[in-house]
Amino acid sequence: MKATCVISAKDLKTLLRGLNALVSEARLHFTDKGLRVRAVDAANVAMVIATVEPEVFEAYQTTEDDVVVGVDLDRLYDVCKSLDSKDIADIAITNEKLTVTSGSMTYTIAVIDPSAIRREPKIPELDLHAEVVIDASEFKKAIAAAEKVADEAIFEKTSKEFKIIAEGDVESVVYSADSYKLIEANSGEARAKFSVEYLKEFCKAAEGTIRIKLGTDYPCWLTFNIKDGFAIEYILAPRIEV
């Protein structure tokens, strides 16, 4: 056995949902510091970074400093959908297979040679000076509203408020949060436009709070803090008008 861990089925499904929102397969790193995943979508428009610290797991053990396994996320997420969120999931990994046991059900899928999976991206260094923290459910509602009127959304941060603006041909919608509604905010200002389709996919991991970092016409960096020690991050390139 190369790695074993026990995690709540709810957290496992949140993790897989967040990863599968962007990529269909990925390398999972089981390290002495927890689970780490980093991948970029086929269009090179967005990146996902997932971190699950050891304390999030009920039990966690690896036989090496970095156990790397390639996983078909489409298949794994599909079989894990049936897990009861109140249960726990026992995960065991060998060179040939990944097994998930929860309650009376055991699922086994073949793993993928990590070298056959697209190379992991480097995390970019970005000068994102505007920052806010809002409730993830608020973000999810704002993107759902934006989707009804446009395929692009503008994120606008001023010294006093944060807005998500979607403008269609004849309709528009604006989500606005001032200092009283924001959990955290700095004084930075920025404005950039992003694909609603990607943002909608990111909302599949919308739990806890979300930290949004922005720069004018720069990528946005979204960190969904699911719980202490468990975060799913997305970096999304902007749409720039020529």
Q: What is the CATH number of the domain that holds 12?
A: 3.70.10.10
pLDDT over 90 (residue 113): yes
One domain for residues 31 and 97 = yes
Residue 122 within any structural domain of the chain: no
Q: Which residues lie closer than 8 Å to 132 by C-beta, 6 or more apart?
A: 157, 162, 177, 182, 184, 185, 186, 211, 212
- Residue 172's pLDDT is what? 96
- Residue 241's pLDDT is what? 65
Q: What average pLDDT does the segment 62-77 reach?
A: 93
- Residue 157's pLDDT is what? 97
Which of 116-120, 130-134, 211-215 is predicted with the least confidence, judged by mean pLDDT?
Answer: 116-120
One domain for residues 94 and 159 = no
Range of the domain at 186: 130-236
Residue 207 within any structural domain of the chain: yes
Listed residue (177, 151, 178) closest to 166, CA to CA: 151
Among 85, 116, 147, the domain boundary falls at 116
Among 116, 144, 173, the domain boundary falls at 116
In the three-class reduction of DSSP (H, G, I as helix; E, B as strand; rest coil), residue 107 is classed as strand
Are the C-beta atoms of 29 and 45 separated by less than 8 Å? Answer: no
One domain for residues 137 and 205 = yes
The DSSP code sequence of 65-81 is: SEEEEEEEHHHHHHHHT
pLDDT over 50 (residue 66): yes
One domain for residues 110 and 147 = no
Question: What pTM value is reported for the model?
Answer: 0.95
Would you tell me how many other CB atoms lie within 10 Å of the CB of residue 150? 18
Give pLDDT tens digits for 157-211.
999 899 999 999 889 999 999 888 899 999 999 999 999 999 999 998 888 899 9
One domain for residues 98 and 139 = no
Among 116, 144, 160, the domain boundary falls at 116
* Total domains present in the chain: 2
Are the C-beta atoms of 186 and 130 separated by less than 8 Å? Answer: yes
- Residue 85's pLDDT is what? 85
